[in-house]
Structure 1
Amino acid sequence: MAYQLYYWNGIQGRGEFVRLALEEAGADYVDVVRHEQPGMGPDAMLEILDHGLNPTTAFAPPFLKDGDVLVSHVANILFYLSPKLGLAPSNEALRYVANGLQLTITDLVCEVHDTHHPISIGLYYEDQKAEAKARSVGFIDERIPKYLGYFERTLHQNPGGSQHIVGSQLSYVDLSLFQVIEGLCYAFPNAMKGYQDRYHALADLHAVVRERPRIAAYLASPRRLAFSEDGIFRHYPELDAGN
């Protein structure tokens, strides 16, 4: 039975972290909201959000349905999926390390979102531009170096080798870091210019993931939606460094 991934249509968003794992594994999955088959489409997602699925429900997408199991939140979904997809460290203790790294990525993604919505998610970006500019300055000057520096150090300190963030084989966290670099380069191209010289291991990891056959095929396919100003990573030139 195919995995069912539920996420908003038309944007990469947080659902993209799950898609990358499913695509790399060659897993059989359905992006439910994008399909117009009976029982699918936006109404199928809203039905679960509104009425739940015994014995649990989800507050917001993304969430994943595997038979009768419903799993919500990106890090939780990936923690559940990764052993099934062959994207988890074989050592059980390292699986918790991987989960901690993924949760740190979750924190980073939240901070990226807050650069363009620093006051309220209920307001348009245009209603909070001055505050967004102030938030972005701090994010670029302080938070990007803090996060990327942490991941760079973790790569170098990995006993399994700096080719991967945890263990000696590709994991879902490597795929998520690829998406983080992709998103930051889209949203803040000036701030990220020359990042390869500052974060060699991260840049190498990004390049290796991009060239993996299934990932390369996915990136070239219509399934990979483009970044846009409706998603998490948004490019507003006035929020980038030097503007």
Structure 2
Amino acid sequence: MKNGKVIADRSISNVSPKASFHYKADSKVTLYASAGKAFNSPTIMNIAFDYVNLGANSELQPEEITSYEIGAYLTASPKTTTKIAVFKNNVSNLIYQNTTKKRWEQADAEILGFELEFKHKFTPELSGFINYTYNDTEFTKFTKDPTCTGNRIPTVPMDTLTFGCTYAKDKWTTNLLGRYIGTAYENEQNTIGFMSHFVADVKLNYAMSKNTSLALSIDNIFDKKYSQRLDNFDIYAPGRVAYLELTQKF
């Protein structure tokens, strides 16, 4: 039921095949290729719940994704590995936030991109990584407003750079993570955008016993101020936030 109206029952089923191929050229180079189909059903939040500026859409259909990827793993040494990948995703019925109608809508889209990742183990206790992902996205079929065909998909940044390190010794583990998020558009017309920003997070974990751990997480540790919307007014992202977590395994 949505706002007092009954939503018709629907039954959805799908087969999602995937195939991959790995070829070890030598001790330092492994090549791979993969292709597959994926299926994402709209959630109950998409079809039944209205928010202040985002309405539900009970007519949403499942997303269908056909993906292709080729890449290579390069092992420069036992301590250093590099990943290089190129990918393409064709998406039918992409579910996105339509800022004009202020509700969930759908369109067909294509995502082309590549990924570079470098990992290195500095010492037995300290390891690090850096990852760069490039996304070139566009609507390939936008029936609600044909003028938006060819525009970029809202909220998906073109550039993402992530790097971090992990230090683990005895009962202590520390994870430090930095994230650069490039500019992205908020609306399908590509006239309103999110500004690029960089934030850093840290997590300290102490293993009190085999089954019990205590962790302190701090997001945006430098309390970076950045806007999530660029228009006639700005909406600012949360500042520094800390979490304390106790985990008990039974």
Calculate the TM-score normalised by the size of structure 2: 0.26
The TM-score normalised by the length of structure 1 is 0.27
* Structure richer in helix, relative to its length: 1
Q: Considering Cα pairs closer than 8 Å and 6+ residues apart, tell me whether 1 or 2 has the greater RCO.
A: 1
Larger radius of gyration: 2
Please identify which structure carries the higher strand content.
2
